Amino acid sequence: MQLTVARIGRAHGLRGEVALDLRTDTPEERFVVGAVLSTEPAARGPLTVAGTRTQHGRWYVTFAQITDRTMAEAMRGTELVVDEEGSEEEDAWYPHELAGLRAEHVDGRLLGEIVGLEHLPAHDMLVLREPDGARTLVPFVRAIVPVVDVPGGRVVLDPPGGLLASDAANLVVSDETVSPRDADD
C-alpha cells in the first residue's frame, strides 16, 4: 500500500527548493539525504532527497531532480509516497486502515461507514457516510472518537448534539455562540 508522507508545496528560492505539506510524524526519518521517494503521479518521480532544512516549523527540501524554480513550481501538488502496510503505533492509523470501518454510536446504534480521512489545518476529520447517504465530517479527536477498533472493523463515536446530519434537530448551541440579538428573541 502506498501512503502519502508529504505533498510538495510552493517553490522557495531560485534553486529548486520546495516547501512540504507533511503527512508524516517522522519527517526526519522519511527525508534523510539520499532517500528515494516515489511520487503520485508516478511520472514525476522518483525523487532523491539532496538536502533538507526547517524554518519556523516548516520543512524545505531540495531534490536532485529539481534544479530550478521553474521545475519546482511544476512539481507543486505532487504527492511523495512510500510503501507501508499499517501503522506500528497503538493510537495512529493510516487512512486506508480507517476507510470501510463501521461507525457506531456509544449506545450501539449504527451511524454509517467511514469512507475517508481529510487533513485540515486544525486536525484530521473522519469522513462519515451516514445511512441516508449524507456526508459528515467528524473531528478525529478522542472526545468524539473514543474507540478505533481496526481488527473489529468499527469506530465508536460520541458526537455532540447536531454534529451528524441525521441529528441536526438536536444541535447544541452554547451561550457563547448566541449573538445578543438572538438572545433577545
Q: What is the pLDDT of residues 97-153, one digit of tens each?
A: 888 999 999 998 899 999 988 877 777 889 999 998 989 999 988 889 999 888 889
Q: Cβ distance 38 to 82 under 8 Å?
A: yes
183 pLDDT more than 60: no
For residue 169, count CB atoms less than 10 angstroms from its CB and return exposed for 0-12, middle for 13-18, buried for 19 or more: exposed
Map grid coordinates 502519502 to a residue. Answer: 4
Q: Cβ distance 53 to 36 under 8 Å?
A: no
**Strands laid side by side in the 102-105 sheet:** 135-139, 124-129, 110-119, 102-105, 154-157, 147-149
- Report the chain's mean pLDDT, rounded to a whole number: 84
> CA–CA separation, 19 vs 58, rounded Å?
7
Q: What is the pLDDT of residues 80-108, one digit of tens each?
A: 988 765 555 556 677 778 889 999 999 98
